[in-house]
Amino acid sequence: MKKIVVCDPIHEIGFKILQEAEDIELVDASKTPKDELLKIIEDADGVITRSPTPVDEKFLNAVKKLKAVVRAGVGVDNVDIEGASKKGIIVMNVPTANTIAAVELTMCHLTASMRAFPNAVNALKRDKEWNRERWLGNELYGKKLGIIGFGNIGSRVGVRAKAFGMEVIAYDPYINPSKATDLGVKYTTNFDDILACDVITIHTPKNKETIDMITSKEIAKMKDGVRLINCARGGLYNEKDVEEALKSGKIAWLGIDVFNEEPLKDHPFWNIENTSVTPHIGANTIESQEKIARQAAENIIQAVRGISYPNALNLPIKANETPEWAIKYLELAQKMGFLTAQIIDKAISKVKVIAYGDIAKYSNSLLTFSLVGAMREIVGENVNYVNAKFLAEEKGIELEIEEKSNESSAYKNLVKVAIYTDTNVYTISGTMFEDSFRIVEIKGFELEFEPKGNFIFFRNTDVPGVIGEVGLTLARHNINIADFRLGRNQDGEAMAVIVTDGAVSKEVIEELSQLKAAISVKTAEL
């Protein structure tokens, strides 16, 4: 059993997922005082935290076998990532679950900034003042919006702003310009282009490059009457400099959801009329909280099982230089390695990665991640991204990379992992459909399925009646089929990939193996 401690409150769906996992011991410490929490986490394999729990030196010194931390949210300001890395603890966050909530709050502040909406509401409801002339506003239509950071949230803000008829300019040194231009958004590498906009919004992480990204120096270059929005992280705008510009009228309006220090009991912005301030509610929707809890629970389960580490922040890659889509392919490579290793019954002699398309640029990392997955079956939980290649060398496993970035395949990007034994080679190929993982080939059979769930791999001679026999066998054992995919080759063989609602016993596998057409029957779990 793997012990997972939930240190802070999350949506009930997260607890439900953890409770239903048969190999997980769930400890709900969400209401436990923080000084008592250190005793509870001592023997934890994984923890889920939110902002109230600091994963600091004291926390890290208290744990003895912790493998992973999931921060249920985007920000990891309260996590000592370097300290966790030194202890071999993987740190993950849930960066996309609250995307829509944060986008829509940004749009709330954006529209409020043009019409002084909160002030008009308060004047009428609180002060009983009917004064239409006082609330003469501006339209978003035709205005120029500068977006700093064009990732998951910034790009969606851009799409919505264009729907209002705004001209949108994006500044983000870490994206391919086509991500902006394909959406009809102008891309710039000149930050002054952003400072010349009518409205500026920021959607970046908080780091050395982005703290105080807007100060009095940048404000001086802006238009008189500019409007600023920040629903990302506190400290990206220098609060003191923005305060002075609000008072002088240089900044016509500030819409802000995040602050340098939180929670707050008072702040100068609260006493300035031309502001809309909210108490860090960017993720506070019912839908986003449910998604955050679901993803946090699923991710920590995968991590303590050693299957994969979704959205890990301390991987052996340069996060700022590796686009999100490429990181997804790394996770896919690890899943493919882990899946294939489960159906191999001999020692691995070689692991080879073949990459087609732009993903070939990251072949070295693909090999590392696929190794972590493949060697999980060999060395157990001790394998990680740092020692995977060393352990492979120690065990005499040959490593090989083949890049085919200029060669075409049926897919824009494709990763193939080949695992060799002394008598055979097992291949598995995968790609991404939007944000969804897909296996598109396994051991030469072309078929498509999602690498998630309990699997039966049934290889057989391609003769009539096999599907019916397999279905009847599973039905006799009260095993429900969630998905059934079939592939065929030119040698008169077929491969069925069967996803079941639960694990399949050895007895069932033995019975399937006795079917006349059966060549091999293997199981795996992801």
Bridge partners of 256, per DSSP, are 230, 277
How many residues does this entry show for the chain?
Answer: 526
Catalytic residue among 71, 233, 376, 459: 233
Instruction: Tell which of 452, 487, 507 closes a domain.
Output: 452
Q: Rounded distance, CA 503 to CA 363, Å? A: 33
Same domain, 354 and 469: no
Pairing of strands 481-488, 493-500: antiparallel
Instruction: Find residue 481's DSSP bridge partners.
Output: 500
Q: How confident is the model at residue 494 (pLDDT cuts 50, 70, 90)?
A: very high
Measured distance CA(75)–CA(93) in Å, rounded? 8
pLDDT tens digits along 386-430: 677 877 887 788 999 988 766 656 888 999 999 998 889 999 999
User: Is 280 an annotated catalytic residue?
Assistant: yes
Tell me if 262 is assigned to some domain.
yes
- Among candidate residues 456, 447, 449, the one with its CA nearest the CA of residue 494: 447
% the chain with pLDDT above 70: 96
Residue 526 lies in a domain: yes
320 is a domain residue: no
Q: Is residue 201 part of a domain?
A: yes
Summarised one tens digit per residue, pLDDT across range 175-201 is 778 889 999 999 999 999 999 999 999
Give residue-wise pLDDT tens across range 126-142.
Answer: 999 999 989 999 999 99
Which of the following is catalytic: 280, 305, 376, 459? 280
Considering the candidates 57, 129, 139, 262, report the single residue annotated as catalytic.
262
pLDDT in the model for residue 382: 58
**321 — pLDDT class (breaks 50, 70, 90):** low
Q: Which residues of 176-189 are buried (b: 16+ CB within 10 A; e: fewer)?
A: eeebbeebebbbbe
Encoding tokens for residue 118? 């909160």
The least confident of 70-79, 145-154, 356-365, 467-476 is: 70-79
Domain, as residue range, for 468: 454-526
Assess whether 144 and 245 both reside in one domain: yes
pLDDT for position 407: 65
304 belongs to a structural domain: yes
Q: Do 298 and 152 sit in the same domain of this protein?
A: no
Closest CA to 302 of 5, 4, 72: 4
**pLDDT tier, 319 (very low <50, low <70, confident <90, very high otherwise):** low
pLDDT top residue among 120 and 310: 120
344 and 362 fall within a common domain: yes
| Same domain assignment for residues 44 and 115 | no
Mean pLDDT, the chain, whole residue set: 91
Strand 414-420 and strand 436-442: pairing? unpaired
**Do 459 and 409 belong to one domain?**
no
State percent of the chain over pLDDT 90: 73
Task: Answer yes or no: do 218 and 74 share one domain.
Answer: no
155 and 260 in a single domain? The answer is yes
CATH of the domain at 5: 3.40.50.720
Residues 139 and 264 in one domain: yes
| Alpha-carbon span 483 to 500, nearest angstrom | 7
Indicate the pLDDT class of residue 105, thresholds 50, 70 and 90: very high
Counting the structural domains of the chain, the total is 4
Residue 319 lies in a domain: no
First vs last Cα of the chain: how many Å apart?
17
Q: Give the CA angle between residues 185, 201, 247 to the nearest 5°.
A: 140
Residues pairing with 24 in the sheet: 2
pTM of the complete model: 0.64
DSSP H helices in 350-485: 363-379, 388-394, 466-476
User: Tell me: the pLDDT tens digits for 365-395?
Assistant: 999 999 988 987 666 655 777 677 877 887 7
The answer to whether residue 440 scores a pLDDT higher than 60 is yes
Say if residue 265 is in the same domain as residue 133: yes
Taking residues 451-480, what's their average pLDDT? 94
Tell me, yes or no, whether 113 and 246 share the same domain: yes
Instruction: Name 364's Cβ contacts closer than 8 Å, sequence gap at least 6.
Output: 401
CA dihedral 6, 315, 395, 339 (to 10 degrees): 60
The verdict on residue 317 lying in a domain is: no
What's the CATH code of the domain at 489?
Answer: 3.30.70.260
Q: How far apart are CA 397 and CA 394, in angstroms?
A: 8
Which amino acid belongs to residue 83?
Answer: G
Q: Which band of pLDDT confidence, cut at 50, 70 and 90, is reported for residue 444?
A: very high
Report yes or no on 318 lying in a domain.
no
477 and 513 inside one domain: yes
CA angle, 254 as apex, 253 and 255 as ends, to 5°? 120
DSSP codes, 297-311? HHHHHHHHHTS--TT
- Rounded to whole angstroms, how far apart are CA atoms 464 and 197? 67
Range with lowest mean pLDDT among 16-25, 369-378, 406-415, 476-485 = 406-415
